[in-house]
Amino acid sequence: MDSSPDPRDPSSQQDSNDVSIPMESEPEIKQTDDSSDGDSSDAEPATYFRHLSLKYFASEPLRMVDQHTYLMGSCLEYNNPEAHYIEGINQYFFRKRRVKGIRHLRRSAKGKYDKGTYLCGILMLCTGKIKEGKRVLDTLDWQRRLSTSERCWVKIKKTLSVYPIDRDNKYLNNMARLKPPKSCDLQNNNHLCKDCYYFLRVEKFVQYVHHR
């Protein structure tokens, strides 16, 4: 029986570059914007790597821990928001480097990548950066389209299912700071305001972490 350490266990190789994660198949990597003649060979590196679609890896970020390092490095260098989302997740949840993880997620949010924006805002609220977390989430325009927040959370929750996530009391404490007044009817799905939106979003994350 193979006794080698689990590559997804950060306690065994938190800061190592020797993580070995087998690839089932080589993904097809596409640009987000097609060129007019279908040939991207003449594209400037900054344009090419910034707009390169990493959708495959965004759904399974662990596959980028020790694979495709040149691709990842180039995309990060040219501020590809999807790459910052992937790196942010791996740094925060796999490497356990929270500050670095949130830094990458913040850059993803600045690039207007919805999942990066959502997770960045939630983690900021959970770690006590209340004002900034609210500002980040507000860019999703949740007051008009709550569906964007819901869609992001469903996808993020599925992605995080393979990561060991610590049950941090700080999350609970900061959720309590967001608790809305009694006038908010939290059981009424038709009621949503700035007082309860942030609390309910954080509550979803905290419950997910504590009931896995």
Residue 26 sits at φ, ψ, to 5 deg, of -80, 120
Q: What letter represents residue 74's amino acid?
A: S
State the alpha helices, DSSP H only, in the chain: 10-13, 45-51, 55-59, 69-77, 81-89, 98-110, 114-126, 130-138, 146-160, 169-177, 194-210
What confidence tens digit (pLDDT) does each residue in 47-82 have? 999 999 999 899 999 988 888 889 999 999 999 999
pLDDT at 35 over 80: no
136 backbone φψ class: left, alpha, beta (φ>0; ψ -120 to 50): alpha
The pLDDT-based confidence of 22 (bands split at 50, 70, 90) is very low
CA–centroid distance for 41 within its chain: 30
pTM of this prediction exceeds 0.95: no
What confidence tens digit (pLDDT) does each residue in 111-131 have? 999 999 999 999 999 999 999
